[in-house]
Structure 1
Amino acid sequence: MIRSASPKYEFNLKNSTKFSGILPFLQFLERMKIQQTFRGFDCLKKDNAKFPLSKIFVYLIAGWMADCSRMFHFQSLQNDPLIRAFLGGKCPHYTLLSKDLLRLEKIEDAAIEFKERVMDIIEPWLDSDLILDFDSSVETVYGNQEGAKIGVNPHKPGRKSYHPLLVFEGKSHLCLNGVLRPGNVHSADNGIEFAEETYRLLSTQYLIRYARFDKGFGGEKFYSYWEQQKINYAGKLKWTSRLKKYVENDNSPWIRYVDDELIVIEGKTVYYQATSFKSYTIRRFRREFIYSAGVLTSHSRRVSLNICKTYAHKWAFRKMIQSVRMID
């Protein structure tokens, strides 16, 4: 308890960080050799560049986890001792990040090349049989970011947003592909082209058992694509009054799939044709897990991170560190 009405203060706390909770993630990036994966892009800068593109990519990934959603937010990481130690002693100035991203924009097929490198990291963790889960999300922006448009936004109606299209592997939950789109597009827009790109990114050794998607992707063209590829699919349908009446009047039996004390799930198979076929959040994770005070200390050749004693996620933190160390 501070009894003095005017406590003394000094700005002399050295080697302190507010991102102690990001340590397991940084160790994960290091263990997965993320920087080595993107070495091929280093040729786009001079050989003696202090910050090659591979290091810039790693810095951008770490910054995103630390809630740096815009380039000038990276100023908060500039002198952070934990981030600097991870990058080898110094962080690039935030203005350099924009310059390097613009450098990539001029390279033809840079996005596909980047996705192929990411797939090289993911594939060793996949089973031979895959389930593709298609999804889309609305990401609200609070400015005039490039490509953001006003569209359907259930959380912030009337505000600009992005509408990214994503595909995950159903068993491992790893993200296989993604594309950033303006907020005024429909969930299914360019869905077939996106599925074909994902199919090309995967090695031929993988067999796609089936695809899953929600009602936003419904449509005759999207269904026909999977049928032509001879890939099974499961998709949600909008529960319209017409579909409800059709199911109620159908005489086929209901099948009980789950029956226990808490949950009962029943279903039935019907043939139905619509009248027409037309075309833990990351924010909470950062707030509760990433943001935590800590101090880097050095003794002989050993560096330690002393985390705030009141940190609420000690068990999960240690568990993540142990899991990272098990990665080959």
Structure 2
Amino acid sequence: MTTRPKSTHRKGERNPDDTLPTPAPMSVDTFDGKVHVEWDSEASVTNIGQLAFFIEFLKLGGRFDDWIDDCPLHYQSNNAPQKIDVLGSLFLSILSGHKRYAHLTALRADGVNPGLLGMNKVVSEDSARKAMKRMNPRDSEQWMQNHLLSCCEPLLSAPWILDVDTTIKPLYGHQELADKGYNPQKPGRPSHTYHTCMIANLRLILDVEVKAGSQSHSSHGLPGLMALLARLSHEQKPAFVRAILLGVAIR
């Protein structure tokens, strides 16, 4: 009796001889006009290589222009950098996974993405720091809260659940509000506490409050939660809030 030879490839694996056809060039509308995106199977992968498609989304939805215009950053000197260059540099840096102002230097060699955003250049880390200091903290907070909420407003007409979560972030520098608090992973390490309000399941962030590491108790996040609920209209309010506040579950 003879048996059938076993297949070399398991079910579901693709035969290496079967190559997929290269996608045709795609036209993408950016702030620098229309560009054509071509796929190169031989090129190396970059972390923001597909940013052109996200830029098209920002332009067609009017998200980026409104975000720039509403920013409470104002210059009076003719030698000051353009507001779009400052905010665009921070925008690209965040998307690249950067965590420090000094990382902006890595973007200064990018000759493609800044232009697609309508920027003239990537600013230096010193210009970014000075820009943040010029902005009024309260006005800046209101600016970001309004635009975060506007991104999710179309979803709030349906019944939804508001989740409140507390996250501990260990710190290794001399950041403001770095304090020792509840930190089960690294006891004694200074940290920040993030009190986050989000749409359950979708994980869309509605608001985040950064507190000192010693303010991890839910009572420190209660004022921010109540302020968020106050900003929502009656039709936008959640069906219930899922949180642990002062030892009592709110549902």
The one-letter code sitting in structure 2 at the alignment partner of 1:20 is T
Alignment of 1:269-284 (within 5 A): none
> SS of the residue aligned with 2:203?
coil
1:78 aligns to 2:104 (yes or no): no
Using the TM superposition, name which of 125-134 and 140-149 deviates more.
Answer: 125-134
| Contact 2:55 2:116 (8 Å CA) reproduced | no
The one-letter code sitting in structure 2 at the alignment partner of 1:102 is K
1:99 aligns to 2:125 (yes or no): no
Instruction: Give the equivalent residue in structure 2 for 1:31.
Output: 57
Alignment of 1:233-252 (within 5 A): 233=251
Q: Aligned equivalents of 2:196 and 2:48: distance in 1?
A: 25
1:20 aligns to 2:49 (yes or no): no
Runs (5+) with no aligned partner, structure 1: 1-16, 227-232, 234-328
Q: Aligned equivalents of 1:18 and 1:181: distance in 2?
A: 40
Q: Structure 1 residue 177: deviation in Å?
A: 0.7
> SS of the residue aligned with 1:194?
helix
| Contact 2:197 2:208 (8 Å CA) reproduced | yes
Q: Structure 1 residue 85: deviation in Å?
A: 3.4
Please tell me the root mean square deviation across aligned C-alpha atoms, in Å.
Answer: 2.8
Superposed CA deviations along residues 4-61 of structure 1, whole A, max 9, x for unmatched, are: xxxxxxxxxxxxx987232345632551343212212266224965421x55334323
Using the TM superposition, name which of 171-180 and 150-159 deviates more.
Answer: 150-159
Superposed CA deviations along residues 77-111 of structure 1, whole A, max 9, x for unmatched, are: 2222344334435211111111111111x364431
Instruction: Give the equivalent residue in structure 1 for 2:226.
Output: 196
1:122 aligns to 2:148 (yes or no): no
Q: Aligned equivalents of 2:211 and 2:54: distance in 1?
A: 29
| Contact 1:141 1:148 (8 Å CA) reproduced | yes
Q: Structure 1 residue 205: deviation in Å?
A: 2.5
The one-letter code sitting in structure 1 at the alignment partner of 2:93 is G
Higher helix share: 1
Q: Aligned equivalents of 1:35 and 1:19: distance in 2?
A: 26
More contact order relative to length (CA 8 Å, sep ≥ 6): 1
Q: Structure 1 length as normaliser, TM-score?
A: 0.54
| Contact 1:83 1:91 (8 Å CA) reproduced | no
Q: 1:209 aligns with which of 231, 236, 239?
A: 239
Q: Aligned equivalents of 1:31 and 1:85: distance in 2?
A: 16
| Contact 2:105 2:124 (8 Å CA) reproduced | yes
Q: 1:90 aligns with which of 103, 121, 141?
A: 121
> SS of the residue aligned with 1:27?
helix
Q: Aligned equivalents of 1:163 and 1:136: distance in 2?
A: 7
Instruction: Name the CA shift for 1:94/1:18 in 2 (closer, same or farther; >3 Å).
Output: farther
The one-letter code sitting in structure 2 at the alignment partner of 1:219 is G
| Contact 1:77 1:83 (8 Å CA) reproduced | no
Q: Aligned equivalents of 2:46 and 2:191: distance in 1?
A: 31
Q: Structure 2 length as normaliser, TM-score?
A: 0.69
Identity among equivalent positions (%) equals 21
Instruction: Name the CA shift for 1:97/1:18 in 2 (closer, same or farther; >3 Å).
Output: farther
Q: Aligned equivalents of 1:37 and 1:122: distance in 2?
A: 15
Q: Structure 1 residue 71: deviation in Å?
A: 1.0
Instruction: Name the CA shift for 1:55/1:211 in 2 (closer, same or farther; >3 Å).
Output: farther
Instruction: Name the CA shift for 1:115/1:73 in 2 (closer, same or farther; >3 Å).
Output: same
Alignment of 1:253-264 (within 5 A): none
| Contact 1:116 1:201 (8 Å CA) reproduced | no
Q: Aligned equivalents of 1:61 and 1:36: distance in 2?
A: 13
| Contact 1:148 1:182 (8 Å CA) reproduced | yes
| Contact 1:164 1:179 (8 Å CA) reproduced | yes
